[in-house]
Structure 1
Amino acid sequence: MRSTCSTDPTYSSSSWKTSWSKSPMRRSFSLTQLNSTHYQSVAFITHHRLGDALFTTPAIRELKRQIPDIEITILATSQAAHEVYLGNPHIKAAYDCSEGVPTEVKETHLDLTLAGLGNERSLSVSNTLNGACHFFVGTRISLKGQPRPRFKTGGADKNEAIIHATQNHINKFTRLFQLESPCCDFSYNLPITPKDTEFAKKKLQDLGIHQDQRLVGLHIGCRNIQKSKFFGLRKKELTNSRAWRMKEVIEFSGRLAKHDPQARGILTGTGSEAPLNAHLQKVCSNLIDLSNQFSIKQSAALVNELDTFICTDTGMQHISSSTSTPLIGLFGATNPVDTGPYPGRKQTTIIEADNMDMIRGSEVFLAYSETLKNHC
């Protein structure tokens, strides 16, 4: 159905498309521009993945900077996304909608709800709200398993087709709300509390870590490891496309022990990586397993206590990007231009190969040594 309206002051465009969602009381508008002065209360339905939620924080910050009077409510579609936005100074409130939309939100009139994705999670939240809803990418459900185009870094022509997800979100908000040219601050907002810092420091103290010991963070897995049945009695190697190979971790650990016997590698991870890290701790005496012991913000506080952090393309890399700790990112299956550390982040080294099998422990140790020279 196509409608036209030249008298409605809230839309700068003279026409828009409307489509009915699953609920007969909800309409989803596909807009090109909005008159921002007519929107005082705006809700944003977040992406459910940790990294994707962090990618949106600069856009929310920029929207609040340019429209100070706007009230932004975050509707998180996962507990991880909710934790990312808790304590964010640029929003009015954040709600965990992973198991249903709170009654308080349902009874609140919102001038506009924005949804980052048009998937089932976003639709289930938007269908319960008051006011219009705009999906940035339409309401089509994306097909799983479709290969994403990959662009190698290193040449201008190869990178023209893709920008970092963080910059993409800012561009969408800028066009939609007719904002002025945005600033170039793409850093993430992940506020940690003194309690988070105290928790991380106590964990290290309980391990007998001395202040003069060098600490290297290692996060070598990803959230899909458990699904791929990576670790069995007969198969002690990783095959997940995003995970760093165990034999190369052991190679790195050996070189670290040889050149700096007092240094310790801190293994981070969720329950999925816990069996892997437990095995590595047995094999390498200078590695310490701290899997599944930290919340998202406690993890950021832990990274703040480290000298360097080495990580694959996973949520933990984006957490570490929110800190000032030197970061070494390992990319074999994904594109760092798209989902790597945010553009302009200092103290960042990217190691990229066609696949994770090609990233050697010796290469990572060399990058680690150079990082120490440049930043420590």
Structure 2
Amino acid sequence: MSSPFFASRPPRSILVVVTRRIGDVLLTTPIVRSLKAKWPDTPIDMLVFRGTEGVLEGNPDVRRVIAVAQRARFAERFADARRIWRRYDLACAAVSSDRPRFYTWFAGKKRVGLVDPERVNWLTRFMLTGTALNQHGSVHTVNSTLALATVLGIPPVPQVVPPAVVDEAQRARLEGRLGYVPSRQPLIALHPYPMFAYKRWHVDGWARLIDWLRERGFAIVLTGGPAQDERDYAQQVADVAGGAVINLVGQLSLAESAEVMRMAKLFVGPDTGATHIAAATGTPTIALFGPSDPVRWGPWPCGWPAGVDPWALRGSARHGNVYLLQGEGACVPCRAEGCFRHIESPSECLTGLDVRRVIAAAAEMLALQ
């Protein structure tokens, strides 16, 4: 397949812009892989918000990551843009908003981007050489982003690329911190804390799941970020569970967390970036979903084909290495920020999620039935 944008020669350099959260950056890696598969000798850089670049650590498709401030005055944004002025043969706005289009217009001699259908106007046509409609209301994020491949005339490669530790000494130190021998006791990785309360399960559920897993001979490791609230929640889970729990919350980079997930026999987590990483490593993964839209945001199973959405709007299901376990209720998924419509709101579909359902899913994924 030849690209209508680069029919005579490949682009000499490419920039992909994803100025959003960690999960958004991760779910953009399939379009990066598609670009690399088409033009293997072309270096690809990514421009992301500072604090999200860790999800690209060890990514073999990315030459360099440019990190910019999320909250910046216009003068600082303009200075960032000037530094990349027309440095790339091709620039891609891989999320649909004004800011990535701004950077893309500055950076690329040719420019493509995702645009919400209602935002297609003279300005977007001026800024972008080619546009892909962002079908955010009806298709998975991976498939939506891969619409850029169609515009570029290149084959889509629907592979989410997780971060990785590439230094063997760092890997050895990580295994030492786990304090167990994998061949002697299999590992289960749990990620109990999402950024927002409305995506949260409950401490008692995590503790009872840990008890059930330990009774069957598994070692338990907790993963999570450095925020104090996250550390406190994980410690509460460990305290209520009692016994041996390897609590590494706040101690690992995203790449190191991904390595722990690769070692694990099973990962369980809520709707958060870590769960997407776990699914991408190929580890059997249970995703606990409540108000979030699984069609759009369910973890992408390893080996899933392009153009097919893995998840229905309602109901639990297993596809490949991912079991999406959805809370129950007539309103599920409401696609809102919890029952009270703010990020610190509880969600009854998750606070009421019976641990027996999670244990049954774990038994299936671990082939213990």
Q: What TM-score do the two structures reach when normalised by structure 2?
A: 0.71
Matched, 1:176 2:151: yes
- SS of 1:359's partner is coil
- Report if the CA contact (8 A) 2:238-2:247 is conserved: yes
Instruction: Sort the Cα spacing of 1:279 and 1:36 in 2 relative to 1 into closer, same or farther, 3 A.
Output: same
Instruction: Sort the Cα spacing of 1:196 and 1:108 in 2 relative to 1 into closer, same or farther, 3 A.
Output: farther
Question: Could you say which residue in structure 2 is the equivalent of 1:292?
Answer: 250
Matched, 1:203 2:177: yes
Deviation of residue 105 (structure 1)?
Answer: 4.3
Question: Could you say which residue in structure 2 is the equivalent of 1:13?
Answer: none
Question: Could you say which residue in structure 2 is the equivalent of 1:150?
Answer: none
Instruction: Sort the Cα spacing of 1:195 and 1:340 in 2 relative to 1 into closer, same or farther, 3 A.
Output: farther
Count of paired positions: 302
Deviation of residue 298 (structure 1)?
Answer: 0.5
Amino acid paired to 2:159? F
- Report if the CA contact (8 A) 1:313-1:334 is conserved: yes
Instruction: Sort the Cα spacing of 1:176 and 1:367 in 2 relative to 1 into closer, same or farther, 3 A.
Output: same
Matched, 1:98 2:69: yes
Matched, 1:190 2:148: no
Unaligned stretches of 5+ in structure 1? 1-32, 142-159, 225-239
Question: Could you say which residue in structure 2 is the equivalent of 1:311?
Answer: 269
- Report if the CA contact (8 A) 1:86-1:94 is conserved: no
Distance in structure 2 (CA, Å) of the matches to 1:357 and 1:197: 36
> Mean alpha-carbon deviation: is it higher for 111-120 or for 323-332?
111-120
Tell me the alpha carbon deviations over residues 50-74 of structure 1, each in whole angstroms, 9 at most, x when there is no partner: 1111111111111221234544221
Distance in structure 1 (CA, Å) of the matches to 2:46 and 2:108: 15
Question: Could you say which residue in structure 2 is the equivalent of 1:42?
Answer: 14
Percent of matched pairs sharing the same residue: 22
Tell me the alpha carbon deviations over residues 292-328 of structure 1, each in whole angstroms, 9 at most, x when there is no partner: 1000100001112222111111011011122132111
- SS of 1:217's partner is strand
Question: Could you say which residue in structure 1 is the equivalent of 2:90?
Answer: 112
Amino acid paired to 2:165? I
Matched, 1:269 2:241: no
- SS of 1:322's partner is helix
Question: Could you say which residue in structure 2 is the equivalent of 1:212?
Answer: 184
Question: Could you say which residue in structure 2 is the equivalent of 1:155?
Answer: none
- Report if the CA contact (8 A) 1:75-1:96 is conserved: yes
Identify which of 17, 24, 46 aligns with 1:52: 24
Instruction: Sort the Cα spacing of 1:217 and 1:130 in 2 relative to 1 into closer, same or farther, 3 A.
Output: closer
5 Å-filtered alignment, 1:225-236, equals none
- Report if the CA contact (8 A) 2:190-2:269 is conserved: yes
Instruction: Sort the Cα spacing of 1:162 and 1:267 in 2 relative to 1 into closer, same or farther, 3 A.
Output: same
Question: Could you say which residue in structure 2 is the equivalent of 1:146?
Answer: none
- Report if the CA contact (8 A) 2:86-2:109 is conserved: no
Question: Could you say which residue in structure 1 is the equivalent of 2:210?
Answer: 253
Distance in structure 2 (CA, Å) of the matches to 1:337 and 1:138: 17
Question: Could you say which residue in structure 1 is the equivalent of 2:325?
Answer: 351
Identify which of 54, 60, 75 aligns with 1:83: 54
Question: Could you say which residue in structure 2 is the equivalent of 1:167?
Answer: 143
Tell me the alpha carbon deviations over residues 323-370 of structure 1, each in whole angstroms, 9 at most, x when there is no partner: 132111111121333222214273322211232123211221122122
Instruction: Sort the Cα spacing of 1:97 and 1:34 in 2 relative to 1 into closer, same or farther, 3 A.
Output: farther
Tell me the alpha carbon deviations over residues 129-178 of structure 1, each in whole angstroms, 9 at most, x when there is no partner: 4646544226999xxxxxxxxxxxxxxxxxx97332112211x2222212
Distance in structure 1 (CA, Å) of the matches to 2:286 and 2:364: 11
- Report if the CA contact (8 A) 2:81-2:107 is conserved: no
Distance in structure 2 (CA, Å) of the matches to 1:167 and 1:196: 34
Instruction: Sort the Cα spacing of 1:318 and 1:75 in 2 relative to 1 into closer, same or farther, 3 A.
Output: same
Deviation of residue 125 (structure 1)?
Answer: 4.1
Distance in structure 1 (CA, Å) of the matches to 2:4 and 2:43: 16
- Report if the CA contact (8 A) 2:270-2:287 is conserved: yes
Deviation of residue 269 (structure 1)?
Answer: 1.4
Amino acid paired to 2:193? G
- Report if the CA contact (8 A) 1:63-1:173 is conserved: no
Amino acid paired to 1:42? I
Instruction: Sort the Cα spacing of 1:192 and 1:374 in 2 relative to 1 into closer, same or farther, 3 A.
Output: farther
> Mean alpha-carbon deviation: is it higher for 132-141 or for 342-351?
132-141
Amino acid paired to 2:284? P
Instruction: Sort the Cα spacing of 1:214 and 1:279 in 2 relative to 1 into closer, same or farther, 3 A.
Output: same
- SS of 1:36's partner is coil
Unaligned stretches of 5+ in structure 2? 71-75, 120-135, 305-318, 333-348
Q: What TM-score do the two structures reach when normalised by structure 1?
A: 0.70
Question: Could you say which residue in structure 1 is the equivalent of 2:127?
Answer: none
- Report if the CA contact (8 A) 1:76-1:94 is conserved: yes
Distance in structure 2 (CA, Å) of the matches to 1:121 and 1:328: 34
Deviation of residue 119 (structure 1)?
Answer: 4.0
- Report if the CA contact (8 A) 1:308-1:327 is conserved: yes
Question: Could you say which residue in structure 2 is the equivalent of 1:334?
Answer: 292
